[in-house]
Chain A
Amino acid sequence: MVYGEISTQGLAQCGGLFLLDSETKKLSGTYCRIADSTQIDKYKATASLTHYQISGLWKDDWELSFKSNETIGSAGLAADFKNIGYSIAASSTPSLTASITAHTDHSGLYATALLERGSYELANIIWNSENEEDDVNHINALWKTEYIRKGMTIGANYKGNDFNAHLEQISTTPKNRTREYFAKDSTQIWIWNSRYAHQFKQSLLELSYTGASVDVNLFGNTYRDNSTKRFLYLPIEANLHYGDIRWETSLFGLEARGLKTDFHISKNHKRFFETLAPNRLLPTSLTQTLSFSFLQQNYLIDADLDIAAGTFGGHFSPTFNVTTHLSVTPKVEIHGYYTYDELGIDKTTEQTTFIAYKGYDESWFWTFESFGAITGLGFSLEKKFESIPNSLSLEWNAAQIIPFKTELHEHSKSDSEPASSQKKSAGSSSSGIFKNGFATHLGIAIQF
């Protein structure tokens, strides 16, 4: 940061994660971002354009897919004075973010408060039945939400020790939409993280921890003729703990990471809080009306997902100065990983025929255990110029998950059938250009 001069920096980067690509299950995401910032004296202007696409697919007797595909433009202004800084940014989603930072003269101590408000189109969820003759065989629902994000950061920087802690709360407000099918949610998310780093003469030690707690009430609704009816309710509770310890020199680094997360969906016996109530999903008709008296069917679902994962490894990245102004840094990375995950689902099917009631329970339990390696290759190239532009840097990284052992066990049990267990090889089937579990990233930065 150079005061009193104009300094401009441009950055372009793209990346992709291709996690699953099989006949029945797909999950992948890609993104590209172009950002530009200009600093004049105490003022800084930023602008960026981001495009991302996330898509997923799950096929069973039906097909559930979701797609989130957005191009977001944003622009912001920041000002930094002697002991105080302000920033304000707006994006096309739309959203508006404001922050204020107070700091001591040389930023030895600082505190930031942040407030953001906006709305967001989370995803388009499409469900298709295998049987086209079903009364409802296609649902195309839009999930849009309005949110408020509040955050606070405090930090200290003293003699090579850097510490900061951050706390953030995001809450969403349900909003009715005028579309035949729509999803809405009422969500509370708490995120807290802290970081401590110590700069030794030749190396850096960094410890960080992130925790999150998510409480979502997701509703699936129909909207017809000014009337909203609820057919789906998913109360999701999730917790996440992530820790990272890293020791790094300019030549190599060692890193250990740990992740523990759990998701929980609980069944609610209260009326209108059934997990799925297909009668209310039916198009309005005499059939639907009579179905309430003569054939009402509801599904209640309890689900638990526990994920534990850890990695340990390091990277080696020597820098070669090809000329005085050009340097190349290749990077080789290898981490071992281990993960053990459990997913349990209990489904109750309730059927009421006038006053005849029938309940039927089914449960499934899956365990997934895998260990292996994550290898990465990359290089970065940096060139400095004597004239404008000042510097240009190019960076590319790719990573691939190589499982040594992967085991998926499935146990299912229903009222009429005894529990069964079967072991499946969850092997990674390759498809297309990319193998499953592949990630890549390409970035260009230019500074004027």
Chain B
Amino acid sequence: MNLSKKLLIGAFGAMSLLAACGDSGSSAEDNNPASTSTEPTANPVETKVEVAAGCAEITDEADKAAMQQAKNNITDVYKAFGEGSLENVQALSASTKATIKGILDKYPGSCEAQLGYVATIISDIVNNKQINDFLDTLYTRNGQSKSSLLSNDFENPSKISLDLNIESSEKLRGILVSDAQSALASAIPSIDSAISYMTNIANDDAFTCSYTVNDRTVELDRGEFAPVLAALYVAKATLTSYVSVNLNFDDNGSYAWIDSLETLDRKWNYSENAGIKHLTKMLDQNSKFTSVHEAWKSEYKNIPNMIDSALFYVQFGLQYGLEEAKNGLATQENDLYIVGNDETADLSTADAQKIIDSLSYIRSKLNTGFEIPFADGKTIKINPTKWYQNTDGVLKFLPYYVMNDMSKWDSPDGGFYWSTAVEDEAYAQRYMQHVVAESYANFNTSAGSIEISGWDDDETTGTIFMDIYEPERVSARVEYAVTGCTVNFTIINYAEGDLYQFYDSDDPIVATTNWTIAPATIPEGMCKTENGVTQYAVAYRENEVPNILYFTDAKGNKTVSLQELVNGKLDADGELSSYSYEDLRNIIILPDVTFGGVFPDMTVDFFWDEFLPALMEDEEEEDDWDYYYDDDDYYYNDPYLYE
């Protein structure tokens, strides 16, 4: 794992670790609305705590001692976090909460009590009922204990990750993305409260808080509080982006549609496939998938401001470090990091200034956009703020297209020719393979994935091969004979179980089977008889793609079908070629090439002439199989290819 990932986790870890100084009333939790069954995701809750500016001292000696004891307990909570023992964290944080809440009630202006309170609010996340209930459901469904689901490794003591082993969609049945989002959303008010207190703490440049960790005194001051506040903003931005977007991919609480995609290997019933049906629904232009939940729109649009606040507070902390550096080690000896120019410092003043400057630059560009290189010497401006201003989802940026009615999916639409022979790429081939696979699937309902392929032997006859590996090995060879649009099948070889008999026998093997394949009729659209002559639709390139959709211009006039696009076009001399970018720009029309202003300088010309070709270039190079055939040296020097 690279360091930046570790840091991200560390930042979250720190956020959750701040959890340690306590409260008993858990006002944040009280503010959480119960998730309702009608709302897919909990609504955002405005949680702003009025905090008197400045830091007051704790005056009473007994309270001071109690605060000191609470701080010691806090370090134990941190330690428990470090060890990944969640149960201990929950117990410890609960016992510390009461003490700190009591002190805070007595001294509302004490930054020390506020800091402890912030720590407890966040540690409350481990006591959050909704999150715990959601996790409990996951544990139960997976038949695992809580401790095994929460894995903790030494490299990242602050990393607490879910270790789920989802074997089938059945284990997820009834567990909705919106449930997970609701659970996460219930943590946001806690972070809001923490932000209110931390803002007060970080703004008081005189307040410091000392802890003893493993015999070492650690002094926290603005240099540390400000980055933690930044981490809280990052956490809030991240959680908000997780919970705002509609990512529901269940079908009325079920994920069986994912399993049904497996039957697509039977090569036909796409329009009847529950998976395809559901995907089609999700990608429909009226679908809410990827759009932002109504209640979360304003919070979602506010994410760039949260990021800006995070960047500001990192600067704020560094600036404080720079000020401290002017007095040498005097006020920063016990800081987590020391700013200075000699060997006994962590960060030089020049580097701190450099980072402050670069953060200023980033902040200034958040709203206007960054130039990002996308190819040699070429850049494109990206405006991240615009991304968060679009709450309608990404589907509206897809090119104009129309989904065909499912009854048309088996009728070829462009990119093919009529032939009197059932050629290899005839749509009839795919249909016949489907008939064989479907017939066997009906005969043996326990059969798993069916591999089916075939070829033509002459104009009207050919062979279809079927292989099944699970749960039992089955192999079959079937011959077809086409008369007009009717096709008859003969099972030539059929064997179950023993792999060797498939290959060692010269004679046809027909195991005892009652499987027969009824004659079938090739559907209209791929087979036609005119004046007594039967012709078959043959795809230019490949017959596997159904006629799902076609592209249109802005007015809804059809420009090209998906099948045409895949199969290429014939030029005036009858030569087959792929559509060029020049062709594509006229037939695939993007409603908004700036993608809602995310790419403010993008134009249609730039998109088709520069941007897309550069993005596709790498992939094309990888896919260039001609290399193996064009390069004689390579061909002859490779013993395997030569054989």
A291 to chain B: closest residue by CB? B7
Contacts of A354 in B (CB 8 A): 14, 17-18, 224, 228, 336
Asked if A359 is at the interface (CB within 8 A of a chain B CB), the reply is yes
- Taking CB atoms, residues of chain B closer than 8 Å to A286 are 314, 355, 358-359
List residues 245-285 of chain A with CB under 8 A from any CB of chain B: 269, 271-272, 279-280, 282, 284-285
List A302-359 residues whose CB lies under 8 Å from chain B. 350-359
Check A436 for interface membership: any CB of B closer than 8 A. Answer: no
Q: Are A289 and B348 in contact (CB under 8 A)?
A: no
Given A353-B10, A354-B228, CB of A292 within 8 Å of CB of B341? no
Known: A280-B346, A284-B354. A357 touches B10 (CB 8 A): no
Given A287-B4, A354-B17, A358-B157, are A294 and B358 neighbors across the interface (CB < 8 Å)? no
Q: Is the interface of B mostly helix, strand, loop or mixed?
A: helix
Picked from A134, A289, A294, the residue with its CB within 8 Å of the CB of B2 is A134
A150 to B501, CA, bound (A): 90
Chain B CB within 8 A of A426 CB: no
Please report the C-alpha to C-alpha distance between residue A95 and residue B227 in the assembled complex, in whole angstroms: 51
> Cβ of A284: which chain B residues have Cβ within 8 Å of it?
347-348, 351, 354-355
Chain A nearest CB from B318 CB (Å) reads 7
Query: Does chain B have a CB within 8 A of A221?
Result: yes
Beta-carbon contact of B157 and A353 below 8 Å: yes
* With contact pairs A230-B343, A292-B346, A356-B17 given, residues A287 and B3 touching in the complex (Cβ less than 8 Å): yes
* 0/1 string, B342-361, CB within 8 A of A gives 1: 11111110111011001100
Q: How far is the CA of A350 from the CA of B158 in the complex (A)?
A: 14
Chain A residues near B317: list those with CB within 8 A. 293
Is residue B214 contacting chain A, with contact meaning CB distance below 8 A?
A: yes
User: Which listed residue, B18, B336, B344, touches A296 by the CB 8 Å rule?
Assistant: B336
Complex Cα–Cα for A87 and B11 (A): 66
Mask, B568-591, CB within 8 Å of A = 1, is 000000000000000000000000
Q: Which residue of A lies closest to B119 (CB)?
A: A355
A294 and B355 within 8 A (CB): no
Return chain A residues, CB-CB under 8 Å to B83.
Answer: 358
Task: Report Cα–Cα, A291/B4, bound state, in Å.
Answer: 9
Of residues 208 through 225 on chain B, the ones whose CB sits less than 8 Å from some CB of chain A are: 211, 213-216, 218, 220, 224
> A355, B4: Cβ atoms under 8 Å?
no
Interface hub of B10, B341, B348, B354 (most chain A Cβ within 10 A): B10
Q: Tell me, in angstroms, the Cα distance from A290 to B75 when the chains sit together.
A: 21
Given contacts A352-B213, A355-B218, contact A292 B337 (CB under 8 A): yes
- Chain B residues contacting A179 (CB-CB under 8 Å) are none
| Chain B CB within 10 Å, residue with most, of A284, A296, A358 | A358
**Which residue of B has the minimal Cβ distance to A134?**
B2
- List 9 A-B residue pairs with CB atoms under 8 Å apart, sorted by A's residue number: A226-B350, A230-B343, A287-B3, A292-B337, A294-B231, A355-B17, A355-B75, A356-B14, A359-B214
Kindly list chain A residues whose C-beta atoms are within 8 Å of the C-beta of B218: 352, 355
Q: Is residue A97 within 8 Å, beta carbon to beta carbon, of the partner chain?
A: no
Min CB distance B178 to A, Å, is 31
CB distance from B5 to the nearest CB of A (A): 10
Q: Which residue of A lies closest to B14 (CB)?
A: A354
**How many angstroms from the CA of A229 to the CA of B350 in the assembled complex?**
13
Bound Cα distance A351, B318 (Å): 22
Q: Is the CB of A357 within 8 A of B214?
A: yes
4 cross-chain pairs, A with B, having the tightest CB-CB distances, nearest first: A292-B337, A227-B348, A356-B78, A295-B10
B13 in contact (CB, < 8 A): yes
Choice from A221, A225, A228 contacting B351 with Cβ under 8 Å: A225
Cβ of A229 and Cβ of B4 under 8 Å apart? no
**When A227-B341, A358-B79 are in contact, do A353 and B17 touch as well, CB less than 8 Å?**
yes
Determine how close the nearest CB of chain A comes to the CB of B356; give it in whole angstroms. 10
Alpha-carbon distance between A360 and B82 when the two chains are bound, in angstroms:
11
- B6 located at the interface, meaning its Cβ lies under 8 Å from any Cβ of chain A in the complex: yes
A contact residues around B18 at 8 Å (CB) = 354
Instruction: List 19 additional contacts besides A290-B314, A294-B231; criterion CB under 8 Å.
Output: A230-B344, A284-B347, A284-B351, A287-B7, A292-B346, A293-B14, A293-B224, A294-B11, A295-B3, A295-B6, A296-B337, A352-B218, A353-B14, A354-B14, A354-B228, A355-B17, A356-B17, A356-B79, A356-B82
Cβ contact within 8 Å between A272 and B82: no
Q: Which residues of B contact A293 (CB under 8 A)?
A: 14, 224, 227-228, 317, 336-337
Nearest residue, chain A, Cβ from B77: A356
Q: Does B154 contact A (CB under 8 A)?
A: yes
Residues B546-584 near A (CB distance < 8 A): none
Q: How far, in whole Å, are A118 and B515 apart by their CA atoms in the complex?
A: 95
Q: Which residue of B lies closest to A296 (CB)?
A: B336
* B residues less than 8 Å from A360 (CB atoms): 154
Q: Bound complex: CA of A335 vs CA of B296, how far in Å?
A: 85
A133 within 8 A of B: yes
Docked Cα-Cα span, A230 to B344, in Å, equals 7
Contact A357 B75 (CB under 8 A): yes
Alpha-carbon distance between A230 and B213 when the two chains are bound, in angstroms: 23
Specify which chain B residues have a CB less than 8 angstroms from the CB of A269 in the assembled complex: 215-216
Indicate the member of A224, A279, A295, A354 with the most B CB atoms within 10 Å: A354
Contact B6 A289 (CB under 8 A): no
Instruction: Flag whether A135 is at the interface (Cβ < 8 A).
Output: yes
**Could you tell me the distance between the alpha carbons of A226 and B139 in the complex, rounded to whole angstroms?**
55
8 A Cβ contacts from A87-143 to B: 133-135
